């Protein structure tokens, strides 16, 4: 059992949890993920490691409440335990040797982009963070990004926070200003990572994306998370989740991500009803 030691709502749909998992904390590196099950009959859900404290033996996860299983996770409080919390899984991000990097985070993807930006900062790189949200109410980790970035560009779809527009608009502007990046790292919705990759391809800047396909075991035994990268089949859980954005077949990844949409909708409604009943 894995005890929750901290819980904080970062915005109405995004929650941060700190979980006691000493073995995971000891090995975790930026870019890796965990798989949790909230309860005995729960499904296995992958979440990227947002932070870790090797001494305290804790791992931080940040999740968006999007469906039945994240709702179930969000019902747990400090002192409660998750039945399963396995990791660290996947390959760590390759960050060594980078001198100047643009880190692009979209929505809850910022929770994954943040440890990457932090690690780059620790390694002495110049970090330009571009973080985008739909609106002001959904902003997370603003202060944290400011602390680890040379420059932070804030974007919102409706202009209620920072500048109005998409993260790609901001990135294009920075590139046109003459910023020469060793690498762009983009983490967020697939559609955003696709457009970032299309933009950087034009400018010939190496781009890494963190893919988030459907997973079950997360150890390479089922291929549910497979992607086509440079024409080859790759398993995101063992070969990734980071891949060269110029080689990923994003359209295929989007199709595969929507495979269980109807089931997920039903599960979300079922969980909602359950929670309502508990409130009554």
Partner 1 sequence: MPNMDPKKCPMPVQDPEVRNKNFDEVALGYTYEMAVEEAKRCLNCKHKPCQNGCPVGIDIPAFIGKVAEEDMEGAFEILSASSALPAVCGRVCPQETQCEGKCVRGIKHEPVGIGRLERFVADWHREHSSEKPKMPEQNGIKVAVIGSGPSGLTAAGDLAKMGYKVTVYEALHTAGGVLVYGIPEFRLPKEIVRQEIDGLRAIGVDVETDVVIGRTLTIDELFDMGNEAVFIGSGAGLPRFMGIPGESLNGVYSANEFLTRINLMKAYKPDSKTPIQHAKNVAIVGGGNVAMDAARCAKRLGAENVYIVYRRGMEELPARREEIEHAEEEGIIFKTLSNPIEVLGDENGYVKGMVCQEMELGEPDASGRRRPVPKEGATFTLDVDCMVMSIGTSPNPLIRSTTPGLETNKHGCIITNGDDGLTTREAVYAGGDAVTGAATVILAMGAGKHAAKAIDAYLKEKHGK
User: Which residues have CB under 8 Å from 86's CB, separation 6+?
Assistant: 24, 34, 35, 36, 218
Tokens 């391809």 identify what position? Answer: 201
Cα gap 256→250, rounded to integer Å? 10
Helix axes 190-203, 250-257, angle to 10 degrees: 180
Confirm or deny that 62 is annotated as ligand binding.
Answer: yes
Closest CB to partner 1 among residues 9, 83: 83
Nearest distance, CB of residue 133 and partner 1, angstroms: 29
User: Which residues have CB under 8 Å from 260's CB, separation 6+?
Assistant: 214
Helix axes 167-176, 190-203, angle to 10 degrees: 20
Tell me the site size for partner 1, rule CB under 8 A.
41
Confirm or deny that 225 is annotated as ligand binding.
Answer: yes
Element (H, E) at 119: helix 110-122
Nearest distance, CB of residue 70 and partner 1, angstroms: 11
Residue 226 bridge partners (DSSP) = 235
- Show contacts with partner 1 in window 201-220 (CB under 8 A): 216-217, 219-220
Among 66, 191, 259, 275, binds partner 1 (CB under 8 A): 259
Instruction: Tell me, residue by residue from 185 to 204, as one string, x for binding to partner 1 by CB under 8 A and - for no binding.
Output: --------------------
CA-nearest of 30, 80, 74, 21 to 51 is: 30
- Show contacts with partner 1 in window 32-91 (CB under 8 A): 37, 41-44, 68-69, 72, 83-89
Confirm or deny that 64 is annotated as ligand binding.
Answer: yes
Contacting positions for partner 1 (CB under 8 A):
23-24, 27, 37, 41-44, 68-69, 72, 83-89, 216-217, 219-224, 226-228, 233, 238, 249, 252, 255-256, 258-260, 263-264, 267
Binding-site residues from annotation: 62-64, 222, 225, 237
Which parts are annotated binding residues for [2Fe-2S] cluster?
222, 225, 237
């Amino acid at each position: 059992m894995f005890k929750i030691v901290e819980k904080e709502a970062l915005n109405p749909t995004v929650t941060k949890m700190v979980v006691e998992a000493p073995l995971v904390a000891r090995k975790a590196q930026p870019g890796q993920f965990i798989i949790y099950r909230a309860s005995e009959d729960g499904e296995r859900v992958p979440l990227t490691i947002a932070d870790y404290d090797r001494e305290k033996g804790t791992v931080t996860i940040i999740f968006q409440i999007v469906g039945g299983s994240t709702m179930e996770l969000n019902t747990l409080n400090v002192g409660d335990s998750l039945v399963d919390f396995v990791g660290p899984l996947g390959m760590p991000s390759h960050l060594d040797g980078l001198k100047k990097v643009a880190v692009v985070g979209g929505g809850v993807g910022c929770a994954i982009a943040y440890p990457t930006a932090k690690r780059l900062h620790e390694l002495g790189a110049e970090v330009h963070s571009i973080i985008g949200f739909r609106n002001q109410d959904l902003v997370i980790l603003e202060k944290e990004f400011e602390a680890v970035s040379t420059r932070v560009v804030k974007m919102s779809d409706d202009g209620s926070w920072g500048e109005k527009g998409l993260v790609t608009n901001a990135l294009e502007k920075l590139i046109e200003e003459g910023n020469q990046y060793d690498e762009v790292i983009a983490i967020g919705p697939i559609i955003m990572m696709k457009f970032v990759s299309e933009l950087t391809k034009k400018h010939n800047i190496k781009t890494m994306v963190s893919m988030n396909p459907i997973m079950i075991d997360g150890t390479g035994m089922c291929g549910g998370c497979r992607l086509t990268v440079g024409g080859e089949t790759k398993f995101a859980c063992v070969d990734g989740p980071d891949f060269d954005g110029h080689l990923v077949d994003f359209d295929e990844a989007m199709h595969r991500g929507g495979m269980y949409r109807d089931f997920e909708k039903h599960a979300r409604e079922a969980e909602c009803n359950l929670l309502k009943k508990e409130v009554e």
